[in-house]
A and B are shown apart, each in its own frame.
Chain A
Amino acid sequence: MRYDRPELLERLAAEYVLGTLRAAARRRFERLYRASAAVQARVHRWEDDLGGLSTGLAPVQPAPRAWAGIQQRLFGVAAAPARRRWRPALVAALVGVALLVGLLVREQQRTRLETLAVLGPDPAHALWRVERPRELTSLTLRTVGRVALAPDKAYELWALPRGGKPVSLGVLPVRGTLQRELSGTQSAALLAADKLAVSVEPPGGSPTGAPTGPIVIVVPVASAAPG
């Protein structure tokens, strides 16, 4: 590729900073950056201009282990910031106590499940009850009716976020109770969902990530936000 056209150089600099260059093009451009002050100037200008998108984020406090890891890697010291060595230990102890109390409280709350939705072709014929802990990190799927299904089919549960695409919550059990951990995507989709749906899929669930078979149940979710 010829890099001496200013428009091309400008576009590459912009897309390098944006992050949309492919890996190989990215490496090539980095070599160019190291070799040319003109390229550096263009890159820096884009970094300065777009940087405003980063500074608007709410700061996140790193865990103490991050600093300890940096110290370890650079200076080979166990941990402990240069100043007052007792302070991190005290802070860690206090954080530990707070965490323990928090965990105990949360554990109590976590064990309590709320019904998120009852799935069935109509309210008189419930087939599954979908329950959630207070923190939406898992779902408990209880079979409460007789589920009839051909052996080469499966029922798959979907969250329908308002205005978004269905997000799979996995295959429903045919009998018994199943607890399923949720990924961040699934939790987020559930938080945004106003409906749950069930579709008929091949065993193991939809191969495409979207419903492929007929949707047989759609029920409203009252509110998935923790109350």
Chain B
Amino acid sequence: MSQGDRSGADNAALEALLERCARQDRGAFETLYVRVAPTLLAVLMQMLRRRELAEDVLQDVFVKVWQQAGQFDAIRGRALAWLISIARYRAIDVQRRARPMLVLGEPELEGEPQLQVADPAEGGGARSALLHCLELIAAPQRRCLVLAYGEGLTHEEIARTVGEPLGTVKSWVRRSLQALRSCLEP
């Protein structure tokens, strides 16, 4: 994996903690929680908006992490990505169940998704490569990707938010993903 030193070291440390969790080490579980719960809660807050709901889902996530810490094949070399994915997928499931709230309640979303500026000291090469490749995608298309990933919006919700036809949004998302893939792996 081509990640930078720091995130590589982080991943190794997290992986070691997860291995200990798989052996029922509760102390390691607490250390893991202290290390990554704030990062995962940030992800969940962005998707679910409500703090209380995000903290409830955070509990689901860590229950799952404890139960699945033995999935070494999925975790090896990518512990943080594994943890973030568990959180995102759980948030997506919760969001889709709570869908009527979105449809009835909020015509617009709070704020705009922000593309974070790359900090070269942080996150390593993989992250700056991603940001570089995202910048090559035209702004309206990129916005769709960020809305989908960051906020967990469906095609329909993105179409409403950006005010474009559903078909346009679907093909923008598809083509942006293709462009991203070929930029990341030329």
**Chain A interface (Cβ within 8 Å of chain B)?**
10-11, 14-15, 17-20, 22-23, 26, 40, 44, 47-63, 65-67, 69-70, 73-75, 81-83, 164-165, 167-168, 183-185, 187-189, 209-210
* Main secondary structure on A side of the interface with B: helix
A63-B84 contact given A52-B127, A55-B39, A184-B110, CB 8 Å threshold: no
Contact B43 A20 (CB under 8 A): no
Q: B106 contacts which chain A residues (CB < 8 A)?
A: 183, 185
Q: A40 contacts which chain B residues (CB < 8 A)?
A: 73-74
The 5 closest A-B pairs by CB, nearest first: A56-B116, A59-B38, A52-B127, A57-B42, A209-B107
* Main secondary structure on B side of the interface with A: helix
Contact A185 B42 (CB under 8 A): no
Interface centre among A17, A26, A55, by most B CB within 10 Å? A55
A75-B33 contact given A15-B173, A56-B123, CB 8 Å threshold: no
Q: A10 contacts which chain B residues (CB < 8 A)?
A: 181
In the complex, whether B82 has a CB less than 8 A from a CB of chain A is yes
Chain A nearest CB from B65 CB (Å) reads 9
A74-B127 contact given A54-B43, A69-B59, CB 8 Å threshold: no
Contact A49 B59 (CB under 8 A): no
Contact B59 A73 (CB under 8 A): yes
| Sample (17) of A-B pairs whose CB atoms are under 8 Å apart | A11-B177, A17-B85, A18-B173, A20-B154, A47-B78, A47-B82, A48-B81, A53-B149, A55-B122, A57-B116, A59-B39, A60-B38, A60-B41, A62-B37, A70-B59, A70-B62, A168-B107
- Bound CA–CA A91/B133 (angstroms): 44
Q: A23 contacts which chain B residues (CB < 8 A)?
A: 96
Q: Which chain B residues numbered 133 to 183 have a C-beta less than 8 Å away from chain A? A: 145-146, 148-150, 152-155, 158, 173-174, 177-178, 180-181
